[in-house]
Amino acid sequence: QPRPMTPEDLWAVKRVGAPSVSPDGKWAAVEVTTWDVPKDEGSSQLWLLATDGSKQVQLTHTPGKNAGPKWSPDGSLIAFTSKRAGDDGAQVYVIAPAGGEARRVSDMPMSPSGLKWGADSKTLYAVAWTWPDTPDDAGYRARDRAEKEKKAKAVVIDATVYRYWDRWLTDGKRPVVFGIDVAGGKHTNLMAGCKLHLPPYEPGADDYDVSPDGKELCFVGDASKDPGLDPNADLFALPIGRKGEPRNLTADNAASDTSPVYSPDGKSIAFLRQTTKFFYADRRRLMLHDGEKARELTADLDRSCSSPRWLPDGKRIAVEVEDAGYVRIAFVGLDGKRFADATKVSERSIDFARDVRMGVYLRNSFDEPPTVFAHGPGMKEPRQLSHFNDELVKSWKLGKVESVAIKGADDAAVQMWVFYPPDFDPAKKWPLVQMVHGGPHNGIMSEFSFRWNPQVWAARGYVVGVVNFHGSSGFGQAFTDSITGDYGTKPLADVMRATDWFEAKPWIDKNRMAAAGGSYGGYMMAWLNGHTDRFKAHVCHAGVYSYHSQMASDVVSGRQRALGAFPWLDMEKIDRQSAQRFAANFKTPTLVLHGEKDYRVPVTQGFEYYNTLRQKGVPTRLVYFPDENHWVLKPQNALVWHREVFGWLERFIGRGPTP
């Protein structure tokens, strides 16, 4: 008998990672993560999925994390990272697709990640953090020991960016690319002595590529004087195994150039380009560099591209594109011609078989956790390969999801998702929760969320509205950029107009409406509190309370563009966009939640908001997570989060239809 979905279900889902397909297209390797909630621990194992859909076979059994499988071009091995007995940190392992014992390839003092194979299947490449002045392992180990033995824990900072997300960047280590010999395990820092490094933010396989002949590394680096102050990520080509300086391939562009991938013949490099500085949501264009110059392939596409991947024919490049509520994989020809399916699901992480026409990718939607599918000639429809969650998904009684077009700020068309409770009866009156997304330049696509999952909220008996308000991604660049310099006004108007839309429905109980949001969505909670009393309760997770206080964020450069001014040049402008300015109006009971390791919206923002509400006598409660960052990622904490959030909503707007 199907039943409503619960927060526990989010931890019962087996979380499937990006597939890697065998060259002959017969198998896909994936990482599958399962969670032991009582132990608060995750474990990842590798599985093989037959692309004829006939079977799924577990390949690794060692407890812990076996991560990021990559199939070798000759088909003989699958590389992955794992921390096993005797390893200080994760190392590179290989395993035969037929199974058996995995073999440790690397023995590095650091933990490599972001693996890629060389075209000859003899070399693996990986990202690892090291000190620029410790070229060998002995030097690294000595420095590592010395750092750990230091009694003084004080950190002296003279960099612009010194921490990112939840990691301090003050130990002097920087991410670089290593080459690792698969047979002997010898590792070499390919960037030793070149003075550049990968961006120290979330370095990974997308930040570099190696030419098919193994003679050149192309990596993302930043040669500007102070990349924190004036960022300019560029692509650099560096000879491997011979002397040579890195050559800047994208010096003509002052903004960000990223995600290089060599064409199968090695003659060109596909990559992504932004042209507006200080704007993280600038449209990412798909570019092609022929060794001399670059040209854009998506000039007529008013959408942002990510994750470029060559098709083996060398004539097309696949990119992921957010488009009006869905993530689509678009195939872009070298002449700029494009093709993308218009399915009502989202698709990501495609990998192509080398020797046959076969693409394997992840499909997901609001109703379906990431699931592996294959598509190739002879298949009328994409074929489902993974079945880890079939039974669980079948056990859920999910409500209907609708996409509606409303008139938002300035009467402009704005898209909103509406989630109905599983037992929705339009003859009854239901409480409403407006769930406001973060960013602000994110969009809510039809994807399965493991944190803010609207279906879980709808299952509690709420109608849930999710507005892709002005500023959201996936609706064109002008829409994304339409809140620059005025972060609050249009998104507020959109949420209010969306709430009018709901209020006009006979099935909404106007007296039982609440709003909830995280990060920028949390900003919108405090902003709503200063501007309206129509909601009976708010939930504010990791919210930006004051844009003055965001000077303590890990990312500071760029806010002058977002907010329209540097604070010292127009303090009033920053103040006008800060929710704090409207504190005199605060009346709405608010649950505030925040994590200590949140460097994006520092935890003091949560304290400021909570303390203000408390001093004013507005009902409030603070849920503090000492071991979480901007997001709540641990199962036990996530269950507390949901218990507190749902408890708060129930206290002020109840749940289910009005009796």
Ligand X SMILES: CSCC[C@H](NC(C)=O)C(=O)N[C@@H](C)C(=O)N[C@@H](CO)C(=O)O
Binding footprint of ligand X, residue count (CB under 6 A): 14
Q: How far is the CB of 509 from ligand X (least distance, A)?
A: 28
For position 539 contacting ligand X by CB under 6 A, the verdict is no
Helix 520-531 vs helix 489-503: angle between axes, to the nearest 10 degrees?
A: 70
CB of 572 to ligand X, least distance (A): 21
Binding-site member from 182, 319, 544, 649 for ligand X (CB under 6 A): 544
| β-pair partners for 126 | 178
Q: Least distance (Å) from ligand X to the CB of residue 487?
A: 10
Q: Which CB sits closer to ligand X, 76 or 489?
A: 489
CB 501 to ligand X: min, Å: 24
Residue of minimal CB distance from ligand X?
Answer: 438
Q: End-to-end CA distance of the chain: give it in Å, rounded.
A: 25
Q: Check binding of 633 to ligand X (CB under 6 A).
A: no
The answer to whether 519 contacts ligand X (rule: CB under 6 A) is yes
Minimum Å distance from CB 441 to ligand X?
Answer: 5
Q: What residues contact residue 249 under an 8 Å CB cut-off, 6+ apart?
A: 218, 234, 235, 236, 237, 257, 269, 289, 294
Q: Which residue, 289 or 441, is less far from ligand X as judged by CB?
A: 441
- Please provide the size of the chain in residues: 659
Residue 114 or 443 having the CB closest to ligand X: 443
In sequence order, the 6+-apart residues with CB closer than 8 A to the CB of 631 are: 451, 518, 542, 595
Smallest gap, in angstroms, from Cβ of residue 184 to ligand X? 42
Per-residue HEC secondary structure of 484-520 comes to CCCCCHHHHHHHHHHHHHHHCCCCEEEEEEEEEEECH
196 binds ligand X (CB under 6 A): no
318 binds ligand X (CB under 6 A): no
Q: Using the rule CB under 6 A, which residue among 7, 112, 438, 530 binds ligand X?
A: 438
**Binding status of residue 238 toward ligand X by CB under 6 A:** no
* CB 439 to ligand X: min, Å: 4
Would you say 26 or 451 has its CB closer to ligand X? 451
What CA–CA distance (Å, rounded) separates 396 from 7?
12
**Binding ligand X by CB under 6 A: which of 110, 294, 601, 639?**
601
What CA–CA distance (Å, rounded) separates 459 from 464?
10
How do beta strands 368-375 and 383-384 pair?
A: antiparallel
Compare residues 7 and 439 and give the one whose CB is closer to ligand X: 439
- Closer to ligand X by CB, 366 or 520: give it: 520
Which of these ranges, 144-152, 239-247, 289-297, 436-444, lies near ligand X under the rule CB under 6 A?
436-444
Burial class (CB in 10 A: 0-12, 13-18, 19+), 92: buried
Residue among 201 and 424 whose Cβ is closer to ligand X: 201
Q: How far is CA 125 from CA 90, 186, 410, 501, in A?
A: 15, 12, 51, 53
- Residue from 600, 609, 620, 649 that binds ligand X (CB under 6 A)? 600
Site stretch for ligand X (CB under 6 A), options 328-336, 358-366, 421-429, 437-445: 437-445
- The minimum distance between CB 225 and ligand X, in angstroms, equals 21
| DSSP assignments along 330-398, one per residue | EEEETTS-EEE---SSEEEEEEE-SSSS-EEEEEEETTEEEEEEEE-TT-SS-EE---TTHHHHHHB-P
The residue type at 593: L
441 contributes a contact to ligand X by CB under 6 A? yes
Nearer CB in complex with ligand X: 83/548? 548
Shortest reach from residue 442's CB to ligand X, in Å: 5
Contact call for residue 280 and ligand X (CB under 6 A): yes
Smaller CB distance to ligand X: residue 188 or 629? 629
Distance between CA atoms of residues 614 and 610, nearest Å: 6
The whole-angstrom separation of Cα 162 and Cα 485 is 26
Q: Let me know: does 308 contact 298? Beta carbons within 8 Å.
A: no
Task: Compute the least distance from the CB of residue 544 to ligand X, in Å.
Answer: 6
> According to the binding rule CB under 6 A, does residue 316 interact with ligand X?
no
- Cα Rg, the chain, nearest whole Å: 25
Closer CB to ligand X, residue 289 or residue 541?
Answer: 541
Check residue 439 for interaction with ligand X (CB under 6 A).
Answer: yes
The contacts of residue 382 (CB under 8 Å, 6+ apart) are 363, 373, 374, 375
Instruction: Concatenate the DSSP letters of all residues of 415-456 into one string.
Output: EEEEE--TT--TTS-EEEEEEE-STTT----S---SSS-HHH
Contact 32, 47 (CB under 8 A): yes
Scanning 113-121, 476-484, 507-515, 516-524 for contacts with ligand X by CB under 6 A, the matching segment is: 516-524
Amino acid making up residue 447? E
From candidates 7, 114, 461, 518, binder to ligand X by CB under 6 A: 518
Taking residue 62's Cβ as centre, other Cβ atoms within 10 Å add up to 16
- Contacts with ligand X, residue ranges (CB under 6 A): 280, 438-439, 441-442, 518-520, 544, 555, 558, 600-601, 630
